[in-house]
Every structure is written in structure tokens, then in C-alpha cells.
Chains A and B, each alone.
Chain A
Amino acid sequence: MNIRATIRRGLLVGLVVLFIFVLGVTTLTGSIVQGWFKLDSGAAGAWLLLCGLALWNGATTVRRAACHSWKAALWNGLLAGAVPGLVVAAYTLATGALIAAGAPLREWLVQLTPEAIGLLTLGRPPLAAAGLLWAALAAAGLVGGLLGEWGARRHWGESIRRRGQAGRAAIVALPVVQKSVAFKYTRYILIGVGVVLLVIAPLFLGQYWTYTLGLVGIYVILGVGLNVVVGLAGLLDLGYVAFFAIGAYTVALLTAPTPHGIMMSFWLALPIGVALAATAGVLLGIPVLRMRGDYLAIVTLGFGEIIRILSTSDVLTTFTGGPRGVRNVGSPTLLGLDLSNYFYHLILLAIVLVVVLSTRLQNSRVGRAWMAMRDDEDVAQAMGIHVLKYKLLAFAIGASFAGLGGVLFASRNLFTGPDDHILLVSINVLCLVIVGGMGSIPGVVLGALVLKGLPEVLRELKDYRMLAFGTLLVVMMILRPEGLWPSKRRSLELRADDEAAAKPQPPTGAGP
């Protein structure tokens, strides 16, 4: 046991809690809990969050310190709750007093509204509220500490892990599972069921959710494209949105009545958009693909910004509609039937096309060349792979998928404008590729569902979405760089790196 370490850790947790306060997470939790349980106020949620944190800190502190005695666990747990509690109490006291004195806290830190402070003080005078909070947190820490010690004695962690393993083994051992694993068409049947479910989804989802699912689908297309560039070929492209914009603007300018009045058919504009995006990919790729990996990222970012600034500026207003964008983009028709009601199915079709294409590429000679290049460019070159050619191919394919996504996006929204093509799109797509698992197509689908679909389900989290994305990127890179649903090869590589890391070695770059 180490009292000083416990206090230090408690102070750290206290700082994190302060950060949580100024970010407004307590208010957020409060309102979520309030919504779920139909409470009168969000105070319960905020208090639960704080007590939960103290509980967790108590438990982990005791587990870390390996106390081995009830007395030590008691004291450590108490401290682990009381130290952050003191910080919280001081905060409550200070803000409560300031609010009572009429200080305009809100003008400085926008989350510190009187209501937010009220969640902590519960309408009591600040001093009483602070004391109450301190007591509650200390108690929570104490309980956490005792729970931690109890868990350590009963070897909870290990038994849970063992039970999980046993459960998994039992499921695998079930005759049904055994048989279906042996039956070689199981995979196809599952995929078939999934596809059928997705096709009939609009029937039971309603318009809004179909629309949202369509958006997720467009991001799947973008993700599969970026996956080729980042995941397979190992080229970090931060200006991916530029190709998306090229696809979107092409279809918009060719089919919309306003800037040029070409009014081409959607089906003609679609291949033109895809081809233009691919051409742009090659044209950008020729000069930039010889660069070091990180320089490539910055150059593509710069390229994306150039496209965005050009499309917002007045210079191109006569050509692209400028900041106002292009309205009345044409929608697809088939034999006189307006397909805009079936856009969801069109997107599904595009996903199938893109996924099949990219899987076939991945498992071909080309795909193996990409992966070899990604892992060690020099060795790949020595093995006779024409590095630049394959990089260009990856760039072009990624760009054409992005172009396809852009065409569908613009046509579905009947509009495109500079606001659709901001850097955030690139970052979103990059996030979903990385979170899903670089180089893994099921991972991309999962990533798109989690990152684009989940925020639609949890609407309260809307303001916190980008914050969560940022955190997720950092956390994923540290804890699980291979992603949620990694490709087998990639996870083997990254795990092998971990084992090799014990030996001193120069951190050789994946980049050129």
C-alpha cells in the first residue's frame, strides 16, 4: 500500500472530474438519465456519474496497490474517494458561491450555467452541498475499495475471464455450430440473409431511418475506398474529400439546370463523375506519391483545403455556383420510373459492387503487392513490385470509390455545396476505417455503423460526437491499433510488432 500514490491518483481523478465539469459531461449524463427514467431533474445522473467515478477509482486503486488487508483497502478506498471528493467539493463551493454572487461564469466557460451547478448543489447552500458531495464521494470510494479488495480475494477478474472462455467453448461445441462451421455454404447463407434483411429494411424502418441508413451506406462506400488507400496500400490520405467533391460536383453540374443547363441523364453523369475522380486521383498521385508517408498526409490535406477554398470563393461562382452550391441535381430514373424513392437500394447496389471489387482486388496479386508495399516499401521494391504503379492504382481506385460516393450523395440530396465537402468528411471516413480495422472490409461496415449510425440513435450526444471521435482515434491507436474487426493478417502483424518491441530497434517507418 502506498498512501502517496493513492493521493496522487486521487488528485489526477479530481482533475479529470473538473475537466468533465467544464466540458458539460455531467449535465449531459444528467439529461440522459433523466430521459431514460423520466426523472424530474438531471441531478441523479450527475451524482451517479460522480459516485461511479469514485467507486471505480476506489476499486482500481486498491487493486493496483495490492493491499491484501481489509484495513489497508478501507483506508485506500476512503482516500481514493475523498481526494477527488475534496476537489469536487471545492469546485462546488467556489462555483456555487460565484453563481450566488452573480458572477457571469457562463460568459467564460459556457457549460457553467446556473442549472449545471444546480445539479450539484441541489438547491442547498454551497457549503452544505459541498459537504454532502464530499461525503458521498468518500463513501463511494470506500465501497469501491472494499469491493476491489473483495474481488481481489475472490479472484473475480480471473473467474469472469474463465467463465467467458468456458461459455465460448460451450457455444463452439454445440452440435449446430459445429455442423454449420463444417458446412461450407454457411457463410454464403448468412450473407444472403443479411442482404435480404437489408433489402427489405425500408419496409419496417420508416423514412427517416431509411435515409439515415442510406447515409451510413454512402459512408461505407467512402470507407471501402479509403480502406484501399490507407488500409491496403498504407498511404495516409487526408484530402479524400476532394475526390468526393469532384464526384458530387460533376454530377451536380452535369444534371442540374442552373449553372450550365446541361441536364444530362444521371446514368451518363455517374460514370463521368467516377472517371473524373479517378483521373484527379492519378493526377494528384503522380507528383505526391514519392513523398514520405507523413508528408503525403499533409499534402493531401492541403489539396483538400485548396478544393474547399476554391469552391467557397467567388472565383468559380459562374462555374460551380460558388458558396450557394448547386440546386436541383438530377436523380436517377430507370425506364421512366423515378428511382429517387429507391435510393437506398441504389446505394446498397453500389456497396455490393464496391465491396466485391475491393475484396477481389485485396485477394489478388494487386492486393498482395499493396500489402507488401505497406509493410516494407524497400523490400517490396526489391521483390520486383513497381511501387509507384501500385500506389497510383490504389489512389485511383480509392478516388473512384469516393467519386461514386459523391455522385450518390449529391443526387440523393438533390443539392451539393461547399459545406458538404469540408475536411470533417475526410476525418470521419478516416475514423471509421481506423476504428473498424484498417484493411478489413467488415471492419469498415462496422465502423460506419458505429460512427455514423450510433450518433443518430443517441441524439443527446450530438455535440460530443467529434470529441468522442478524437478520443476514439487516440485510444484506438494506443490500445487496439488493428481496429474493432481487424483483418487477420493485419492483427497478426501488429501483434508481432508488440513482441518484437522488447528488443531495441529503430522505429522504422511504414511510410516511404
Chain B
Amino acid sequence: MADAKQVHPKRTLRLGKWVQPILGVVFAAFLLWRLYRILFVEHVYGPDTWVKFAISGLILGGVYAVIALGYTLVYGILFMINFAHGDVMMLGAYMGYFVLEGFKSANMLDWNWAGPLGAGIASALGASAEAATEAGAIASLVLAVLIAFVAGMGVSMLTAIGLERIAYRPLRRAPRLVPLISAIGASLFLENAAQLMFGATPRVYSNPTLIDRKAGWTLYVGGEWVSSPGVTAWQGKPVLLTYTGVITFVMSVVLMVVLYILVQRTRMGRAMRAVAEDKETAALMGIDIDRVIGNTFAISGLLAGAAGVLWGLHMGRLDPMIGFIPGLKAFTAAVLGGIGNVPGAMLGGLTLGILEAVGPGFLGMPFQLKDVLAFSTLVLVLIFRPRGILGEVLSEKKM
């Protein structure tokens, strides 16, 4: 996709050619003023809080990026906003929840299943029983989380493939708003089906104890000299870096890299890029268009499922509507980075995540309004730079 030519008419606001630069300068000046205020005048948040914000922004951004990849792939090929993508993610999150619940009710979530066997091996190797117990716990954790991921991704993949077959494939030649409306319908259907099946009451992910949502490494940032009688010591302010957060971020980066390699280096990726560029010519070259589009949806579903399980593990709370807002934001991220552009989706996701986490504090807004900030970003980006940061990668034909 990166090789596509980028020939577009300029899609900028044409209210005189000075409006945009002036607005830009005013905005930049405002940001600088805020920076000055925060550094030298207001001391609302200490450095530890800013680090906290940045960490949660990066983690959130990682999830957004993984969801955004699904949007970007599908948009790159079909020029269609897969409105139901967030709900595909929600179904993946539910599946992961059920797997973890299953492990829990079978008492295997933290069960030392390697127990007797592990103890035997440990004694043979000369290790202590505690080490064996810990190894068993880690093994059961890895197994449970892995199965949760596989199941969640599988369900999401099947949903995405089914969606494409039922709701989008018959409409491939229709005017552009028709598949979008169909996608809105599919999204409504999935949300309400989930609500009927799983109930509207929120559920809480049961994480294995080792990766409890409150467990993690403690970093010490900033701090002050504390003098108690006799001793004066530097006491840092703790910032918790949760294991789930690290897992989320690492997973999202790994998924992104894998996807990039898949699109750029494999035969399937080449076929996908060819179809994105020109469907008719690709078909003449012997590419099975239906299969490539099916594959694209399958991949986007896999990514959405992974994002769903990550979301559940990290955020914990789950209800049938959780897909909607993250989906919208991830679409924002995809546009922000440049739609159709795989590295762009990553960049856009991280940018949006950090913006959302740091922005309210930076701009002095109440935190209730962080979604307003995200959606305003969407509106502003679409108005002033609809091609995104890295530029969109779409064939010129359908513009």
C-alpha cells in the first residue's frame, strides 16, 4: 500500500488562503502559553502525575492502534468505514471473558497445575518448592491468557468474515453510502444481540492473580526530601506500571509489526495491496478478489479480537456497548495517521491515546471531557488535514 501514488486534489479549507496559517499560529501560541502556565505558573500536577498520564496514554493508544489497523486495512481495500468494527472487538472481549471465567470456575486460573509434577522436576533439578509453585502459576497464567486470546481472536475473526459475507459483499458495487448504512445496521445488530445474549449488566474480567489489574512495577518519579528525626532521605513518588499495561503495549507493538510484515512481505499482503490499488486489474492478474477481501476482514477481525481481550485484561469492565466509543476513536486514530497506512494507524493511535490522557490536564479541562477532546480532534483533523499525519495511502481511482 505504501507504493500507491498520492495524487489528490487539495482537500483543505479554502476560506481564503490565510485562514489556515492564522488559525495554526493562534493554536500554536495557545499551546505554548499553556506549556508556560503549566511549567512555571500552575503546579496542579507533579511530574509523577504527568508520567502517569503519559503511561496510560501510551497503553490506551496501543489498543486504539490495534483497532485502527482493522479500520485502515478495510478502508484501504473497500473504501468503506467498517462501522461494526468496534462491536467485533466487543465480541472478542466477551469471548476472552468467558474463557477466563471458565478457567476460574474450573479453579485453574491460579491453580498450581504443575504442582506435584513440577515439584518432582524441581527437586530433580535441585530447585525449591516455592520456585516450582511460581513456575506453575506462571504456566497456568500463560495458558489461560493464551487460550483467551486465541478464542477471542477466533470469534472476532469469524464475526468479521460473516459480516463481510452477509452485510457487505452483496453491496460491493452499490453507491458508497449504501454499505456504510449496512455497516451501521450490522453494528446495531451486534450490539443488541450481545445485549440480549450476555445481558446489559457490566461484567468484570477476572484476571489471573499474577497479572491483577493493580499489580505491577513501581517507578519512582520526582519526589522530595523527607526528613524524619535523625534521617533525611529522598522519597520518590511512586508511579504504578501495571503488568497488564505492559502486556497491552507490547502486544500491540508486536501485532503491528507482524501486520506490517504481512502486508509488505508476504504473497497475501502483495495480493491485498494489488486489490487495494485496482480491483479489476488485480482480478485480471489472477487474484481472487473475494478471497483477498475475505482475508482482509479475517485479519481485521483477528486484530479486533486481540484488542478486545487486551481491553478486557487492562480495563476490566465489559458491557455490550464498549465497542462503540473505542471504535469511533480508533477510526479517528486511523484518519489521524492517514487512512490506508499501516504505520500511520500506529502513530495515530498512540497520538490519540496520549492526547486523550495528557490533553485534559494540559489544557486545563475537566477529565469528563476527554471524549470531547478526542472527537474534536477527529473533527479538526478531518477539516484541516483529512489526509492525516503520514498521508493516506489509497488508490486515486475511488476518490
B68: chain A residues within 8 A (beta carbon): none
- Give the distance in Å from the alpha carbon of A382 to the alpha carbon of B376 in the complex: 34
Inter-subunit contact A294/B80 (CB<8 Å) = yes
Q: Are A110 and B192 in contact (CB under 8 A)?
A: no
A-B contact pairs, 18 of them (CB 8 A): A108-B98, A287-B13, A291-B382, A292-B399, A299-B378, A309-B372, A314-B366, A315-B366, A430-B184, A470-B186, A470-B187, A473-B182, A474-B166, A477-B178, A497-B175, A507-B172, A508-B175, A511-B176
Cα A380 to Cα B176 with chains together (Å): 18
B376 (CB) vs chain A CBs: closest residue: A306
Complex CA–CA separation, A57 to B376 (angstroms): 50
Task: Tell me which residues across on chain A come within 8 A of B328, comparing CB atoms.
Answer: 298, 301-302, 305
Contacts of B176 in A (CB 8 A): 293-294, 507, 509-511
B164 within 8 A of A: no
Segment from B196-204, B224-232, B246-254 that makes contact with A: B196-204
Residues of chain A lying within 8 A (CB to CB) of residue B188: 427, 466-467, 469-470, 473
Q: B196 touching A474 by the CB < 8 A rule?
A: no
Interface presence of B33 (CB below 8 A): no
Interface status of B128 (Cβ within 8 A of chain A)? no
A271-317 interface with B by 8 A CB criterion: 286-288, 290-295, 297-299, 301-303, 305-306, 309-310, 313-315
A48, B160: Cα distance in complex, Å: 32
Chain A positions within 8 Å of B331 at CB level: 298
Residue among B328, B371, B382 with max Cβ neighbours from chain A (10 Å): B382
4 interchain residue pairs of minimum CB distance:
A473-B185, A470-B188, A470-B189, A509-B176
List CB contacts (< 8 Å) of A428-467 with chain B.
Answer: 430, 434, 463-464, 466-467
The CA-CA distance from A476 to B185 in the complex, in Å, is 10
Interface contact B181-A473, CB-CB below 8 Å: yes
Q: Does A507 lie within 8 Å of B182, measured CB to CB? A: no
A110 partner, pick from B15, B167, B199, beta carbons under 8 A: B199
Q: Is A252 an interface residue (CB 8 A)?
A: no
Nearest A residue to B184, CB-CB:
A473
The interface residues of chain B lying within 8 Å CB-to-CB of A510 are: 175-177
Q: What's the Cα separation between A22 and B184 when bound, in Å?
A: 23
User: Are B177 and A22 neighbours in the complex by a CB distance under 8 Å?
Assistant: no
Contact of B368 among A315, A474, A507 (CB under 8 A): A315
Q: How many angstroms from the CA of A115 to the CA of B126 in the assembled complex? A: 57
| Interface check A257, CB cutoff 8 A | no
Known pairs A108-B101, A474-B186; A310 contacts B372 (CB<8 A): yes
Q: Which B residues touch A22, using CB under 8 A?
A: 197
Least Cβ–Cβ distance between A202 and chain B, in angstroms: 33
Q: Scoring B residues 77 to 98 as 1 if CB is less than 8 Å from chain A, else 0, what string do you get?
A: 0011100000000000000001
Q: Are B192 and A313 in contact (CB under 8 A)?
A: no
Per DSSP, are chain A's interface residues mostly helix, strand or loop, or mixed? helix
What residues on B are CB-neighbors of A509 within 8 Å? 79, 175-176, 398
Contact residue range for chain A?
A: 35 or more
Determine if B379 and A474 form an interchain contact, defined as CB atoms under 8 angstroms apart.
no
Chain A residues with Cβ below 8 Å from B69 are: none
| Number of residues of chain B lying within 8 A (CB) of chain A | 57
Known: A302-B375, A497-B174. A472 touches B185 (CB 8 A): yes
* Complex Cα–Cα for A318 and B15 (A): 35
Once the chains are docked, how many angstroms separate the CA of A297 from the CA of B379?
11
The distance in angstroms between the C-alpha atoms of A210 and B167, with both chains bound, is 38
Smallest beta-carbon distance B328→chain A, Å: 7
- Chain B residues contacting A23 (CB-CB under 8 Å) are 193, 196-197
**A287–B378 Cα gap in the complex (Å)?**
13
How many angstroms between the C-alpha atoms of A293 and B332 in the bound complex? 16
Q: Quick check: B368 and A477 within 8 Å, CB to CB? A: no
Q: Which of B59-112 contact A (CB under 8 A)?
A: 79-81, 98, 101
Q: Is residue B364 contacting chain A, with contact meaning CB distance below 8 A?
A: no
Is A471 interfacial (CB 8 A cutoff)?
Answer: yes
Q: Which residue of B lies closest to A426 (CB)?
A: B184
| Shortest Cβ distance from residue A469 to the other chain B in the assembled complex, whole angstroms | 6
Asked if A111 CB lies within 8 Å of chain B CBs, one says yes
Inside 8 A of B172's CB, which chain A residues have their CB? 507
Assuming the contacts A294-B176, A467-B192, asked whether A506 and B366 have C-beta atoms less than 8 A apart, the reply is no
CB-based nearest A residue for B200: A110
Report the Cα distance A297→B382, complex, angstroms: 11
In the complex, B383 has a CB within 8 A of chain A: yes
Q: Does B288 make an interface contact (CB < 8 A)?
A: no
CA–CA, A364 and B286, complex, Å: 50
- Expressed in whole angstroms, the minimum distance between the Cβ of B327 and any Cβ of chain A is 11
In the complex, are the beta carbons of A298 and B378 less than 8 A apart?
yes
| Neighbour of B182 across the interface among A109, A288, A427, A478, CB < 8 A | A478
Nearest Cβ distance between residue A282 and chain B, in whole angstroms?
A: 14
Q: How far is the CA of A507 from the CA of B176 in the complex (A)?
A: 8
* Bound-state Cα–Cα, A109 to B369, Å: 34
Any chain A CB within 8 A of the CB of B312?
Answer: no
Q: Is B179 an interface residue (CB 8 A)?
A: yes
Instruction: Tell me the complex Cα distance, A508–B399, Å.
Output: 8
Is A481 in contact with chain B by the CB < 8 A criterion? yes
Q: Are B383 and A294 in contact (CB under 8 A)?
A: no
Residue from the list B184, B196, B366, B368 in contact with A24, Cβ < 8 A: B196
Q: A292-B399, A501-B173 are known contacts; what are 4 more A-B pairs with Cβ within 8 Å?
A: A299-B378, A302-B375, A305-B375, A313-B369
User: Is B17 an interface residue when CB atoms closer than 8 A count as contact?
Assistant: no
Interface centre among B13, B174, B191, B280 (most CB of A within 10 A): B174
